[in-house]
Structure 1
Amino acid sequence: MSSDPSAPRQKMQDSRVNVPGSCKSHNTISPSKPHPARLRRLFRSNYVRVSTQDQDASKQLAQLRAVGCNRVFSEKVFGTRRAHPQLDQVIERLRAGDAIVVTRLDRLARSFRDLLGIVARIHDAGAGLRSLVEPWADTTTSAGGIVLTVFNGIAEFERKLIVERASTGRAAAMARGTKFGRKAVLGSAQVEHIYRLVDEGNTSMRGIANLFGIHRSTLFRLLSRHAANAS
């Protein structure tokens, strides 16, 4: 029996996923008119993170449900722990065209650099990010994408400045005679003494190591370099 072409098509539904945890929140908002390439289920995810200082996630949940999110990934984060397994699950389930919505960016990341790393992972999945409190961070829009691109450029610029300052400071210190690296265990006179003892052959390797207060592995490396230079 052929289907009636005039029959209304079944409306697609967005799937939503839930996770337990700390006080951060993510949810995805699907566009009202999805692109043909997105004619599949759009993924909505909420993520709630609660820290030891903020044990109540109810406010975040209410804000997310107000924009259509009713299932949540949540986890509790202690101290400066960077591992967020529930957030990782949310990102792993993303597909092209999805979006993650958070109540605030500080519920998503602990630092600016951490935020840029998470945004990059979301972008690599072909998805976007929205913040209810910071609309300028909406990467699903061209304006929000440009803002975060600029921020990423600033972070890279800052990293290069730090590297350049460290390199300049090291060069200046070396010009003043400062030596870097671990201090030599043995002086040149002691090294020459070791070579003589080895050449004489009257003292064991263990005895030489004990005499100079070094480990036998240190002694063997010293002799190996000496043999290489001699050849």
Structure 2
Amino acid sequence: MQIGYARVSSTDQNLDRQLKQFEGLGIKKIFAEKISGKDRSRPKLREMLQYIHDDDEVVVTSLDRLGRNSQDLTTIIEEIRSKGAVINILDLPTFDGVQDKNLKALLSNLVMEIYKYTAEEERKKIKSRQREGIDLSKARGVYQGSNTLYSATSKNPKYRVLYEKVVSLLKKNTPIVEIYRQTGVSRMTIYKIKREMNV
């Protein structure tokens, strides 16, 4: 049986593209959620992992829908395999033409390991570039840090008021896009405030 798992990182993002791909494949059983990959609870992922059994095929549109880093992905993939199920990543080669099951599994595993390594290295590069940018800003004396700018204790009244407005809107479950429109605070900062609030 084919089982789809779809995920987007926030409530204002859309699952439609992933669900449409599953529909095109005739997949009926789908677990879908709007939650950050950093969130280890991911209830629908847990539910899916408990549901699967021998000979099931877990289908995801891309590997990053399952997890954010190599260690997380490895743990989830191993759990899928321990249930006797296989995994199909739609944006990776499937090797459907390979008849030998062992060779097919070997090739699929190799591609996934390369993908995980590449994604992990890219994340490290991004973090390194961010750190270099912060260090340069600090050296020039212009770095203030997001916590200083947007927080309840900000020294700047303008940013303190904006922070309180964002918090108020988040508590009302206002979509991120709408909060951005109303406040002008960047979406990245809004997401950061949301994570800190655990809403």
Interval containing the TM-score (normalised by the shorter chain): 0.3 to 0.5
* TM-score scaled by length of structure 2: 0.48
Compare CA radii of gyration and give the structure with the larger one: 1
Which structure shows the higher helix fraction? 2
* TM-score scaled by length of structure 1: 0.42
